[in-house]
Structure 1
Amino acid sequence: MIQLKISPHSKQRIMHTRLKSFLFNKYRLIGILTVVLVFSFTFTSLVSYNVTRTSIDSDAKTKILPLISDNIYSEIQKELLQPIYNSSIMANDEFLVEWVLAGEQDTEEIVRYLQRIKERYGYFSAFYISARTNNYYYYEGILKQIRPEDEHDIWYYDFVRSGRHYDLDVDNDEATSGTLTIFINHRLEDNQGNFLGVTGVGLKMSEVGETLESYRKRFGHLIYLIDSEGLIQIHPDQDLVENTNIRELEGLQDIGDNILRNDDVTHYYEFRTKNGEQTLSARYLPDLDWYLIVEQDQTQALEAARLGLFGNIGIGVVVTILVIGLVVIVVNLYISKLEETANRDELTGLYNRRKMDEILSREIAFSKRYGEPLSLMMMDIDYFKSVNDSYGHHAGDHYLVEFAKVLREEVRLVDYVGRWGGEEFIILLPKTNVEQAKGLAERLRYAVEVMQIESGRGLISRTVSIGIASAQSGKMDVDEIIRHADEAMYRAKQQSGNCVVVW
């Protein structure tokens, strides 16, 4: 029986042929999958059209609205809880406490501090109000001294009397000519719990309102927040903020009291306005002591039901695109994995000889073009055969794996490490002259010398011989630099190993 021996080059050519064949079949597979998905979505849309019309109201209350409410809740947490967290950090900042205890002597220090807070986090305002001097410090200096008889300062005295660690207050910002602002206020105390004042940040109401408006456009729902008394605190319509109670809104007069339940359960209500049927969800936010209100216009949902057939088909097209995209991604990842496998040494995970040849050719060309230095290391583990003879091939493989780890840990991210064959390894160092390469080689030699591997039969310790060749300004070709590095490595071996030789 005649056995044909296939060369490595032939194996690579066969692999590339199979990859091309697979790529050709991939497009045929995607075409079939697209037809099946489009047909399936169209058919199911036709069948479910009448069912969708009758069940849309139930779906809105049990599926759509809860999901959107949860998504918006997560978004609101990001928008408002982060400023609360940052104001808490300010209230626990040693700099601020020490500055106050030192007598508030240098106003510029607190101004710079508040400026950094404002600019770093993008807040509209940052402030500190001193309990000792009643000074209202903000990011440009001292705004004023607060007084109990000033209606703009009532919040401060109410907050101090409340004993709460923090709260939210909607008010006009006197520092910016009355801009409506959400202030996050936090108590400042020393280590003994003595009250020092109030610090915090401010969010521009119009920007928060714009955020809610963007939610409305994205989710198709009206979103706003009310306090525990039902007073609107944040709303896309700025005229309603701090002026309108939820009980005064059309259709909500009879259910306003039921909405204001301070529990953690999301409640759903139905009501009617001149525009038609509406559905509302109310969720209590304990961190803010506010309620998140999400309103859905059922009239639009019923209108959407009449267009449900085309909507479902459109969704089917989108899902089909997503699925096809996912298939393409998975297939491409699989192909990339095949190519990665073809370029890596199976045992150590380093680049194999074929890939290192390719990289070296590319980097030599780069070096010649731009006149950059380039160095190459060839290394051989001294007396490695005795490892296999004394400890077994499994131990020898384990040593090679650990040896490869040492090489990866010592080199830069821009360097290339490969297994040249057997116990020989190669490192390509772009933009590296011979002195720099020698320094790295000495570090590698020492790291290998002190490396000890447990084999089960005792510790394995070996050394390495390293040869270096350098192509200054790309004046060597690939074969020449490899030959020089190889010759230098063998000269190192002839010197009893465990040394570095430069060609």
Structure 2
Amino acid sequence: MKFSKSNIKCIISTNMLISFLMTMTKSRISIKILIMVITSSFLFSSLFSYFQAKQSLRDEILSSSLPLLSENIYSELRHELSVPINVSSSMARDSFLMNWVLDGENEIEDIKLYLGNLKSRYGFFSTFFVSSSSRNYYYYDGILKQISPYDSHDIWYYDFINSQKELDLDVDTDQASNGVLTVFINYRLEDFSGNFLGVVGVGVRLDQLSDLLKQKKTQYDRDIYLVDEEGIIQVHSDLSLIEKINIFKEEGISSVAEQLMETEEFPIDLIYKKKNDHFLVSSKSIPEIGWHVIVEQNEERGSFFAKRSLFINLLLTAAITVLLIIASYKILKSFEQQMELLASTDSLTNAANRRELEKQFKLLEYRSKRFNSDLSLILIDLDDFKSINDNYGHIAGDTVLKEVTFTLQKSIRPIDLLARWGGDEFVILIEAPRDEAALKADRMVHSFDKPSNVVHNGKEVPVSISAGVAVFKEGDSLKSLIEKADKALLHSKAKGKNCVTLSD
């Protein structure tokens, strides 16, 4: 049997008292009183330790365990949803899709191929486009249906339009896959003038996210679920509760629901009572999608262990150690990722470096051959950069390189790659035919026509660029593709700079 410090002190003082009293008297009455004192001391010490341990346990769960777990779940969910959200965003900005809609949605095979390639490339459960003009619901196998305000399955579409949101997540059955519960990431598609064309997006099986929460529930012995901005459960390890429970209407948790739904940078930690039990609950906002991660625990689960205060202290120490190991592992992992990022980016401009360019080219080369897709390369060179360094200094030259990188990065899609080739040269890999790549390059060149936003010592530094465009062909390597683009770039320089030339 193990004793706390307070129990040990009590034993020491009691032993001294026993010795003293037995020396003074052999009275049975004194012995009984002594036994009562010892018993009372142990009872008081045990009760004090129990309530102290129980309060410490509550404080630890509210201030450390639940918030850390909320952050952990939040990070993993963001990782799970980042790819489908980013791809949906790219679809909403895809000029091919806009032009296909504006041209009258005539070639159904084109949209089938487009959606099918995205589905297979990223392993999504579903990819879709709903046209506002024809009301056709296109998916990877063609036209699924025509949407209607009278079809309960289509209410999401009209709700999304009326919400005026750019992005929304919706949990629903996928009619294209025998009613499998799916998380749909919906994005508004608008033309270049901001006119609404329809809704695009991808679908992820709900059970993928539910399995993640189920694993965490088993691992941490906590109830974990996601609620939308209205407090309705959207993801839960128990699929039968999805879209059936609203925390604003549920007994107990409704008393703290409004506070839980506040959008805060850090987790919110509260206590609520349901029947005779107290629940400790933590909430973390996911601002990208407007949902919240809820993590809760019945406080009574820890009461049994709190009765064994020393054992609980050891257990909590071990738990904290595990949490520190997990935190250390995450910090180390984050440091490794930062080191990988440094190894793949240019230290001055934060554009990709040559190593990353070569790596991404191999992937795009394989994809071009595998899916017979277009791949083009744009080689960009700053005009008269040496004179900028000579007239304004190298610090001004570095500033120009950073600003040019920033401007070029804004001009390309998230799936395109911008790399610094060396000195004042940049390379852009773009999955597009030559003419489209040339058009994008021309826009980049003309983006520097306006007055320069680079200022050094109170003076504007004039900046212009020239570009050469080459298209990938069978047998091309990165070196040969850049050589073709470089020849085209030299023609741009010869023509007076500040222009684009296409390779033969």
TM-score, with structure 2 as normaliser: 0.50
User: Separation in 2 of the partners of 1:316 and 1:60?
Assistant: 14
Aligned match of 2:112: 111
Q: Is the 8 A contact 1:110 1:137 kept in 2?
A: yes
Secondary structure in structure 2 of the residue aligned to 1:245: coil
State how 1:12-411 maps to structure 2 within 5 Å.
Answer: 50=49, 52-273=53-274, 276-306=277-307, 309=310
Aligned residue type for 2:289:
L
Q: CA deviation at 1:284?
A: 2.6
Q: 1:229 to 1:317 in 2, by over 3 A?
A: closer
Instruction: Give the gaps of 5 or more residues in structure 1.
Output: 1-41, 327-503
CA distance in 2: counterparts of 1:57 and 1:163, whole angstroms: 43
What amino acid is aligned across from residue 142 of structure 1 in structure 2?
I
1:210: how far off? 1.4
Give secondary structure in 2 for the equivalent of 1:191: coil
1: distance between equivalents of 2:164 and 2:96?
23
Code of the aligned partner of 2:174? D
- Aligned letter for 1:182? V
Give me the CA root mean square deviation: 3.2
Once the 2 structures are TM-superposed, how far is the Cα of residue 43 of structure 1 from its aligned partner? 11
Cα 1:103–1:252 change in 2 (3 A) is same
- Residue 394 (structure 1) aligns with: none
Q: Distance in 2 between matches of 1:292 and 1:58?
A: 20
Supply the distance in 2 between the matched residues of 1:54 and 1:318 (Cα, whole angstroms): 17
Give the conservation status (yes or no) of the 8 Å contact 1:265–1:283: yes
User: Contact 2:71/2:267 (CA < 8 Å) preserved in 1?
Assistant: no
Q: Percent of pairs identical after alignment?
A: 42
CA offsets per residue over residues 387-432 of structure 1, 9 Å max, x none? xxxxxxxxxxxxxxxxxxxxxxxxxxxxxxxxxxxxxxxxxxxxxx
**Alpha-carbon shift at residue 279 of structure 1 (Å):** 0.3
Contact 1:179 1:204 in 2 (8 A): yes
Distance 2:74 2:319 in 1: 30
Report runs of 4+ in structure 1 exceeding 4 Å deviation: 49-54, 306-320
Structure 2 SS opposite 1:123? coil
User: How far did residue 167 of structure 1 move?
Assistant: 0.7
Kindly state the Cα deviation for residue 295 of structure 1 after the two structures are TM-superposed.
0.5
* CA separation of 1:317 and 1:169: change in aligned 2, threshold 3 A: closer
CA distance in 1, matches of 2:295, 2:4: 34
Q: Is the contact made by 1:279 and 1:295 (CA closer than 8 Å) also made in structure 2?
A: yes
The code of the aligned residue for 1:229 comes to E
How many residue pairs end up in the alignment? 280
What is the CA distance between 1:313 and its match in structure 2? Answer: 5.7
Post-superposition offset of 1:171: 1.6
1:243-272 Cα deviation digits (max 9, x unpaired): 221133342232333333344453222123
Larger radius of gyration: 1
Could you list the per-position Cα deviations for residues 134-168 of structure 1 after superposition, in whole angstroms to 9, with x for gaps in the alignment?
Answer: 11111222101112222211221221222211111
CA distance in 2, matches of 1:52, 1:130: 61
Q: Is the Cα contact below 8 Å between 1:264 and 1:285 reproduced in 2?
A: no
Contact 1:222 1:295 in 2 (8 A): yes
In 2, the alpha carbon distance for the partners of 1:250 and 1:206 equals: 27
2:335 paired residue number: none
Question: Secondary structure at the residue paired with 1:253?
Answer: helix
Q: Compared with structure 1, are the counterparts of its residues 275 and 68 closer, same or farther at alpha carbon in structure 2 (3 Å cutoff)?
A: farther
Q: Which amino acid aligns with 1:197?
A: G
